[in-house]
Structures are given as C-alpha cells and as structure tokens.
Amino acid sequence: MKDKKIIIDESDEFQCTVRNIIYLKSVGLHSGKDVSIVIKPAQANKGITFIRKDLSPAVIIKADSQNICSTNLRTSVGKNGVCISTVEHLMSALWGAGIDNASIEVYGEEIPALDGSAKIYYEAIFESGIKELTAKRKYLKILEPVIVSSNDNIKNCKENDYSIAIYPSDDFEISYSMNFNHPFVGSGLFESKIDTSNFYTEISKARTFGFLKEVELLKKNGLALGGSLDNALVLNETGVLNKEGLRYKDEFIRHKVLDLIGDLYISGYRIKGKVIAKKTGHDMNAKLVKAINENKPEIKSNERNAYSKTFRLNNLLHKTGAAAAPLMSIDIANINAAGIIKFKIKNIHENIMV
C-alpha cells in the first residue's frame, strides 16, 4: 500500500458562510454580456456551488476539479455541457474572506468582471457579514510533493518550461515567478505566507491584465469582449494605459497569485502546503488541482453517513438549546440501523430520528 501524499486534516477552526444575500452585476470580461450573481448562505460541508438560474431547469455545478471544463485565459466549471466562465476571481475572494460554503446563483454564462480583481467581491462578502457554522474546517495537508511540469522530466526543466508543485508546510505559502517579454512587466518573484489576515491588503486588489497589441486577436476568438480600462490593466509597448496606474508596484505578479489561489480553491478545500509556481496560468494550475485531488484520501460512505448524523444531531440540539445542558450525555457510537440515537438530558430519555 502506497504512503499517502495528502491527508484531510480537521482543524480547530469552524466553517463559515455568508450571513446575508449578496447581489452583484457587471459585464462579463470575456463574453461582453451583462451578467449577475446572487451569493447565498449554505450549510456546513456543502462547499461552493454554482447554479445557472438563467436556464430551465437550473443546472447545479459544484466547485470541483472534476468539473473544470476550460482553462483558456480563464477557469470555467461545467456540467452536462453547461459552463460558467471566469470563476477564479470570485473563488479567490471566497477563500480570502474565509468562506467555506456558499450557493452562487448565476444569471449568464460568466461571473461578473467587476473591476478585474477580487476586491469588490471581498468587500461585498464582509459587508454582508460572515456566519460561523458548527462544523470544523478541514484542510488538505500535503505530506509529499505533488509536481506538474510542461516538461515530462521535472528534474531537467529548461528556462522556458512551465512548472508548478506543492510541498509540505504547516501553512499556505506561495512562491511565484514570472517572466514576460515586456519592459514594464518583465520578470519577478513573489513569495509569501498567505491567509485570511493578509489576503485583502496584499492580493485582492490586483487586477487582471492584457496587452493592447493582442486585443484584436482575442476578440476575433471570442475573448476579452467585455474588457476595458474599468476591469483590466491594459499595456501598450511602454506602460499601462490606465490613468490611475498600478495599485501595487508588482500588481501583475500579484494578480497571477490571486488567480492561483482561486484555481486551487476549486479543489474544494483549503490547503496546508507550499506552492512553487513558475510562469503558470490557469491550465497548469488546474493540472495541479487535479493531481492534488487524485492523491487525496476518499471519505468512505459509512464515515460520511456517521458524520452527517452527528452533524444533524448537533444542529438539532443547538436549535433546541439542549447543547448547553450541563447534564447532557450522548453516545454517538450507538446509532442503530434505523438511525435512532438515544441520549439523556437532565434525566429525560428521548429518542430522536436523525
């Protein structure tokens, strides 16, 4: 039996969802169409779920590596031929705001571009409020390296090869290097531990970027149809055309990190590990996500059912106030085949169907 490269690590933190409903609308960066989303609270262990509400019947698409359907200049998730494009900025904001569970109703084929970063999404989430749930947050903890490269022989990677890997760490860290043949962008290295305490200030405001000379070709291929100076940094041969300039002196590489965080969150988990990425985009990011999911342990059905019963019982006790009873005792191990749990609260015996 092979040693596990990844384990599911339950933390002392509690899962979170949005407290109130969030409405957001703008043009789609690539489709050029007006699109809108409604972010709603979700129960613990539901994860991030997209729902194409503009279709009848509505199509439910879970944020999961198996549902990645395109990585051409953006990350799209889909099911049964129905796709939702450009999910990475929203996914990054959800990660940065500490949201584990949310139901996202989508009206259109793409997530709104807003200002081309994760900033407005993040601020909207915090304005709505964040609700702590009763279930503990789980992480994917990396025990052994998981490596993806454009060169099949990772040990002999050349300068022009793309590579991404994740190594063991007790935190979530990113080391990202890039090299663009442009005098204003150039090469760079970003290295940092990233968590919910520094995501907003260090990452969220970095905007997507593109080159003026490529715009016509992109539009001929049905891309960047909604792109403008309002939702992207646009570069000519010498610098940016946006009058406000850069939000960070290294905004370009920080946006690549923003994309990477959003793409990794499609795994369905937060991760404890150090990511080392070299010139990667959505395609390589997605390959790492799929490699991670191939190496993560599966939750057995009996474990999942037992967890579900325990969670529903805890919710019931919480709602009735019984969870605070000092004389309460529960023996979860004695769930019978009918799903009956017998417990005692203040000398009162109750049978509850869960």
Residues in the annotated binding site: 89, 255, 259
Rounded Cα–Cα distance for residues 354 and 347 (Å): 21
Instruction: Name the residues annotated as catalytic.
Output: 282
Alpha carbon distances (Å) from 138 to 90, 194, 250, 329: 21, 17, 32, 26
> In degrees rounded to 5, what are phi and psi of residue 88?
-65, -35
Rounded Cα–Cα distance for residues 298 and 7 (Å): 9
Residue whose tokens read 């590579």: 163
CB 132 within 8 A of CB 16: yes
> In degrees rounded to 5, what are phi and psi of residue 34?
-70, 125
Burial class (CB in 10 A: 0-12, 13-18, 19+), 185: buried
Q: Which residues of 283-316 are buried (b: 16+ CB within 10 A; e: fewer)?
A: bbbbbbbbbbbebbeeeeeeeeeeeeebbebbbe
The strand ranges marked E within 143-181 are 146-149, 163-167, 172-179
Q: What tokens appear for 142 in the block?
A: 């990396």
Rounded Cα–Cα distance for residues 311 and 321 (Å): 15
Rounded Cα–Cα distance for residues 16 and 351 (Å): 30
Rounded Cα–Cα distance for residues 27 and 48 (Å): 22
The kind and range of the H/E element at 100 are none
> In degrees rounded to 5, what are phi and psi of residue 281?
-130, -160
